[in-house]
Structure 1
Amino acid sequence: MITAAKYSNFIYNNAYIPEHIYTYVQGISDVDAYFSMPYVCYFKEGLLIFVGYPLKDIYNLSSLKVILNEAISKTKCDRVKIILPLWPIEGLSNYKLISKDEYYRLDLNSFTIKSKTRNMINRASRDMAVERTRSISSEHRDLIERFLDEKKIDEETKWIIKNIVSYVAQSDSAWILNGRDAKGRLIVFDIIDLFSKDYIFYMFNIRSLDKYIPGASDLLFYELIKMGIENKKKYINLGLGINKGVSFFKEKWGGRPFISYYLLEKEIKTKINIFSIIDRFI
């Protein structure tokens, strides 16, 4: 497990995707986290989740197959899920491709805010107050429930969002950006994570559709940018593109794809297995 300071410090100094944040994955899924230079992986109840993004030399996957097979042998897992920056990879042809996407990133040293976006920020700032906090409360739980009721979200994503509270409560690096209307009601909040030396991570945006203020998410994102600069981060990892609506928001802020995402899986044994809810994490 990741306990020694030298491992956690190495991961902190080099993390660049959310799955490198082992406190996040553990908080959401209650898994065991392991580190085998230069890879992070997670294990619980027969399922191995292998993060195939090396913490050094992003596209150097020369040791991946050996370390992956060692992890399979040590955990005696029944099933493997692996995420990769490249595909196909020699020696992994027996893995099934499940989905593909791209991670988006915003360079904090060279971004500009378009006039239309700045207008939305100014508009929202007249009707909404922003606050930073480390505490998650019943207000956040209620807004999460309303968000899940209002949005059409697949079951896997719903399960992740329902476990936000556990993640934030256990994390030393997660922050909440609240947006409150003139009556003091919580109408939107973002979860961000300062886990990495060079990156600030844009993790979740939870909002109410019936009380939403135009530009509210832009105002919170602007606050995220300010926090990134204050903490001397170089980049914002914006997460995956997911769909056209989500990627549009990231692109209008100057976010661009910087590394590909491939999710693959493989059954290790032929017997029938019943997997835990952790199977939904990736």
Structure 2
Amino acid sequence: MAVSGEIRSRPGESFPPMGERHFPPLGEIEPSEWVKELKKGSHRAQSLKKIGIVNEIGSLHRRDNHKNFSSRRSAITPAGPACFPINLFPERAARGFPENAMPPSRWASFAAEAAVPEQLVPYVRAVSDLEPLECGGFLAWRSGPALVLVGHDAGLKQGGTEQKCSRPEAARLDAAVREASSLRGIESLTVISPFRPDAAPEWAVSTKPDAYWGIPLPTDTADMAYGQKLRNQLRRARRDILTAREGWKPDHAELVEQYIRSRPFAPGTRHLFRHIGPYVEAVPDALLFAARDCEGALQGFSVGDYTALGTVFHLFAFRAPESPPGTADALLDALAAEGIRRGHTLLNLGLGINPGIVFFKRKWNATILRPHVETSWAVQRPQEAGLLGSLKKLFGM
């Protein structure tokens, strides 16, 4: 199975589907196990996949009522928050709201202004049992004793890697970190944000910095800035395939299963891929674009989320192993065209992840939108082993 984009992996090398990023696989490791490891003082970098969160998937074949979801509102379309079912899962509502729980009425606000996929509340709830909280004005996700604070302020404008944190923004994030740390039962905390929070303790572990990439969307598809090479690639692909919106079908699921069988994925990753279907059936503004040859055989598909008012999120792209060259480009072109038709102004392509995926994004003239780093720690300082640890405990150091 070749990975999305026109990047085909070498033997033994695993590229994730284009657009896949952190907010990792559900159930890869139990939160309590991760907490125990952090308490031991492990210095190994901890990513979000350690607490059972999942990431980008989605699509749904919707009726032509897209105008209600456009970010550039027409004179006859009333302005308002992103439109999606407030209560996707009624059985969860019956549980009541724990400490700092966020009522459904707040979901639309975060989703409408989403700057990163983790702020798309319908998406995260559709693929996990995580409960949304609000800490200091930031969205957070809780799974038992583990909590993830989404520190990407929706009001933070894109500005590339040179973007520095402002003092007020850093102070607000630090206040949210302290609030999250004080919640009852929280033993471990992960903050995903443009920078490492100052409130993170010295034993916190941060991942290697990455960045979100994206492209601006014009008001007309004819104004898309394609280079000559990309135009040639698209022209060639259109001779062999036809792209169109579709609902979830058995051959989509089979293509995903082929990809799962091609690599030794963790259980949580397999869970994520196999829940693309349920997600597309639950969330209105997640769309699937399929590429088929003249005989109707599926050559690939992409999924994007249009829930946010201004930003389209490119979440996943799968290709058949022998798909025609340019298949991934044709799918992304269709995804972008739908965003333009709906009035979106930005296409978020996700994190860089590796050089191959960055190459694909650069081919589309993508630029860095905002930096990104994950910082994780146990709320209580890990105990030091040996004589030094015993002496420090004895003298209260």
Alignment of structure 1 residues 1-282 onto 2, 5 Å: 1-5=101-105, 7-36=106-135, 38-57=137-156, 59=165, 60-87=169-196, 89-94=197-202, 95-109=204-218, 111-133=224-246, 135-150=247-262, 157-209=269-321, 211-269=322-380
Q: Which runs of 5+ in 1 are unaligned?
A: 272-282
- Kindly state the Cα deviation for residue 10 of structure 1 after the two structures are TM-superposed: 2.2
- Kindly state the Cα deviation for residue 76 of structure 1 after the two structures are TM-superposed: 1.8
Which is further off, 123-132 or 160-169?
160-169
The answer to whether the 8 Å contact 1:26/1:167 transfers is: no
The answer to whether the 8 Å contact 1:103/1:237 transfers is: yes
Distance 1:180 1:206 in 2: 13
Q: Max radius of gyration: which structure?
A: 2
Q: Deviations over 1:85-105 (max 9, x none)?
A: 013x32214321133211001
- Kindly state the Cα deviation for residue 46 of structure 1 after the two structures are TM-superposed: 1.9
**What letter matches 1:104 in structure 2?**
W
Distance 2:307 2:108 in 1: 10
Distance 2:209 2:354 in 1: 12
Query: 1:275: which partner in 2?
Result: none
**What letter matches 1:126 in structure 2?**
R
Distance 1:248 1:154 in 2: 26
Distance 2:288 2:353 in 1: 22
**What letter matches 1:27 in structure 2?**
A
Q: Deviations over 1:31-61 (max 9, x none)?
A: 1112345311111122211111122346423
Which is further off, 33-42 or 240-249?
33-42
The answer to whether the 8 Å contact 1:48/1:75 transfers is: no
Distance 1:115 1:154 in 2: 40
Which is further off, 179-188 or 233-242?
179-188
- Kindly state the Cα deviation for residue 83 of structure 1 after the two structures are TM-superposed: 0.7
**What letter matches 1:91 in structure 2?**
A
- Kindly state the Cα deviation for residue 111 of structure 1 after the two structures are TM-superposed: 4.7
The answer to whether the 8 Å contact 2:146/2:187 transfers is: yes
| TM-score using structure 2 length | 0.63
- Kindly state the Cα deviation for residue 108 of structure 1 after the two structures are TM-superposed: 1.1
The answer to whether the 8 Å contact 2:256/2:318 transfers is: yes
3-state DSSP class of the match of 1:27? helix
- Name the CA shift for 1:236/1:167 in 2 (closer, same or farther; >3 Å): same
Distance 1:42 1:116 in 2: 42
Name the % identity. Answer: 24
Query: 2:55: which partner in 1?
Result: none
**What letter matches 1:92 in structure 2?**
A
Distance 1:254 1:153 in 2: 31
Distance 2:184 2:121 in 1: 18
3-state DSSP class of the match of 1:61? helix
- Kindly state the Cα deviation for residue 153 of structure 1 after the two structures are TM-superposed: 5.7
- Name the CA shift for 1:75/1:54 in 2 (closer, same or farther; >3 Å): farther
- Name the CA shift for 1:54/1:38 in 2 (closer, same or farther; >3 Å): farther
Distance 1:99 1:264 in 2: 10
- Kindly state the Cα deviation for residue 157 of structure 1 after the two structures are TM-superposed: 4.5
The answer to whether the 8 Å contact 2:139/2:150 transfers is: yes
Distance 1:189 1:203 in 2: 11
The answer to whether the 8 Å contact 2:147/2:188 transfers is: yes
Number of aligned positions between the proteins? 268
- Kindly state the Cα deviation for residue 74 of structure 1 after the two structures are TM-superposed: 2.8
The answer to whether the 8 Å contact 1:47/1:78 transfers is: yes
The answer to whether the 8 Å contact 1:53/1:84 transfers is: yes
Distance 1:55 1:223 in 2: 26
Q: Which runs of 5+ in 2 are unaligned?
A: 1-100, 158-164, 383-397
Distance 1:263 1:157 in 2: 19
3-state DSSP class of the match of 2:207? strand
- Name the CA shift for 1:154/1:44 in 2 (closer, same or farther; >3 Å): closer
- Name the CA shift for 1:45/1:4 in 2 (closer, same or farther; >3 Å): closer
**What letter matches 2:364 in structure 1?**
W
| TM-score using structure 1 length | 0.86
